Amino acid sequence: MSTPLLELRGLSGGYQPIQIFQNVDLTVEQGASIGFFGPNGHGKTTLMKTISGVLEPWRGDVIFEGQRLNRAKARGSRRWRNFNYDVVTPRRMDPKTVARAGLIHVPQGNLLFPEMTVEETLSIAPLVAAERHQSSAHESALHEKVGALFPRLQERRNHKNRFLSGGERQMVSIAAGLLADPKLLILDEPTLGLSPKLRLELCEAIKTIRAAGVPLIVIDQDIGFLTELIDVLYLFDHGSISRRLERAEIPSHDQLMAMLFGEAV
Partner 1 sequence: MISLDTILIVTSGGLVLGAIYALMASGLAVVWTTLGIFNFAHGAFIAAGAYIGWQIAHADASGLGLVAGTLGTLLAMFVFGVLFHIALVRPFERRANIVAASVITTLAGATVIENVINLIWGPRSKQIGRMLDGDFSLGPIALSMNDLALVVIVVATLGLVGWFLGATRTGRSMRAVAQNREAAELMGLDVPRLYAAAFGLSAAMAGLAGIFIGSIRFMTPTMGADPLMKALIVVIFGGVARFTSPIYAALIIGMVEAFSTYFVGLYWTPAVLFALMMVVLVLKPAGLFGKHQRTL
Ligand X SMILES: Nc1ncnc2c1ncn2[C@@H]1O[C@H](COP(=O)(O)OP(=O)(O)OP(=O)(O)O)[C@@H](O)[C@H]1O
Residue 17 sits in the site that holds ligand X (CB under 6 A): no
Instruction: List Cβ neighbours of 35 (8 Å cut-off, separation of 6 or more).
Output: 217, 218, 219, 220, 226, 229, 230, 232, 233, 234
Of 132 and 253, the one with the shorter C-beta distance to partner 1 is 132
Nearest distance in Å: CB 57, ligand X: 14
Restricted to residues 177-206, the positions that interact with ligand X (CB under 6 A) are 189
Provide DSSP, 82-119.
Answer: T--HHHHS--S--HHHHHHHTEEEE-TT----TTSBHH
Residue 42's binding partner out of ligand X, partner 1, Mg ion, none, with CB under 5 to 8 Å set by partner kind: ligand X
Of 44 and 105, the one with the shorter C-beta distance to Mg ion is 44
Instruction: Reduce the DSSP state of residue 64 to 3 states and report it.
Output: strand
Q: Residues interacting with partner 1, by CB under 8 A?
A: 52-54, 84, 86-87, 95-96, 98-100, 104-107, 110-116, 120-121, 123-125, 127-128, 176, 180
| Calpha distance 255→131 (Å, rounded) | 46
Phi/psi-derived region of residue 243, left when phi > 0, alpha when psi is between -120 and 50, beta in every other case: beta
Residue 20 sits in the site that holds ligand X (CB under 6 A): yes
Of 20 and 229, the one with the shorter C-beta distance to Mg ion is 20
Number of residues forming the site for ligand X (CB under 6 A): 11
Residue 45 sits in the site that holds ligand X (CB under 6 A): yes
Restricted to residues 23-42, the positions that interact with ligand X (CB under 6 A) are 40-42
Nearest distance in Å: CB 130, partner 1: 9
Of 129 and 229, the one with the shorter C-beta distance to partner 1 is 129
Instruction: Reduce the DSSP state of residue 185 to 3 states and report it.
Output: strand
Instruction: Reduce the DSSP state of residue 58 to 3 states and report it.
Output: strand
Q: Residues interacting with Mg ion, by CB under 5 A?
A: 44-45, 108
Q: Would you tell me the crossing angle of helices 166-179 and 136-149 to the nearest 10 degrees?
A: 150
Residue 44 sits in the site that holds ligand X (CB under 6 A): yes
